[in-house]
Amino acid sequence: MSSLMKDVVAVWQNGTLFATTAGSGHAVMTDGTSAAAQSPMELILSGLAGCIGADVIEILRKKRQAITAMQIRVHGTRSEDHPRVYIHLELVFVITGRQVDPGAVRRAIDLSEQKYCSVAAMLRSKAQMVCRYEIHEDQPLTA
């Protein structure tokens, strides 16, 4: 199968709960009410975090940045009218490492957001996206 084509099969479980399996064989649950699993709209935020995070960490590795931990907090605001699409997205990257260059972090985020992350590109057509970052110096191990 071409890498340009993706498939998912969703099997109804009960209520608004679905088991979805991708062509890769990996599965996730979704729940329209968020009672038993992430809602489809929450899953979109998870996809955004995973997509942009993968790009950013790879770019920072190539820039030889000593990253020891990274967390991405994503907050999405949806339209009040249907369809209730995301209209504003805020991403906060919390990066921990040793002597991390803030310029390298900003450039990695910009490259992912503007060029590489497919999820960001799709969401950007309807939503304003704001990215911020925090850098925390990792504590050296003591013996």
CATH number at residue 55: 3.30.300.20
| The total number of structural domains that make up the chain | 2
% of residues, the chain, pLDDT over 90:
94
Name the residue among 132, 119, 102 with its Cα closest to residue 54: 119
Asked if 4 and 63 sit in the same domain, the reply is no
Asked if 30 and 44 sit in the same domain, the reply is no
| Residue 3 pLDDT level (bands cut at 50, 70, 90) | confident
CA dihedral 108, 76, 133, 69 (to 10 degrees): -80
Asked if 20 and 62 sit in the same domain, the reply is no
- List, for residues 19-54, the tens digit of each pLDDT value: 999 999 999 999 999 999 999 999 999 999 999 999
* pLDDT for the residue 139: 83
Instruction: State the Cα–Cα distance between residues 60 and 51, nearest whole angstrom.
Output: 15
Asked if 78 and 17 sit in the same domain, the reply is no
- What stretches of 17-101 adopt beta strand conformation (E)? 17-22, 27-31, 66-78, 86-98
Helix 102-111 to helix 40-62 angle (10° resolution) is 130
- Please report whether residue 142 resides in a domain: no
- List, for residues 105-128, the tens digit of each pLDDT value: 999 999 999 999 999 999 999 999
Instruction: State the Cα–Cα distance between residues 90 and 49, nearest whole angstrom.
Output: 11
Model-level pTM? 0.91
* pLDDT for the residue 22: 94
Asked if 32 and 77 sit in the same domain, the reply is no
Q: Give me the domain span that covers residue 79.
A: 40-137
Asked if 64 and 8 sit in the same domain, the reply is no
Asked if 34 and 90 sit in the same domain, the reply is no
- Please report whether residue 143 resides in a domain: no
Q: Which residue has the higher pLDDT, 75 or 141?
A: 75
* pLDDT for the residue 51: 97
Name the residue among 92, 97, 93 with its Cα closest to residue 67: 97
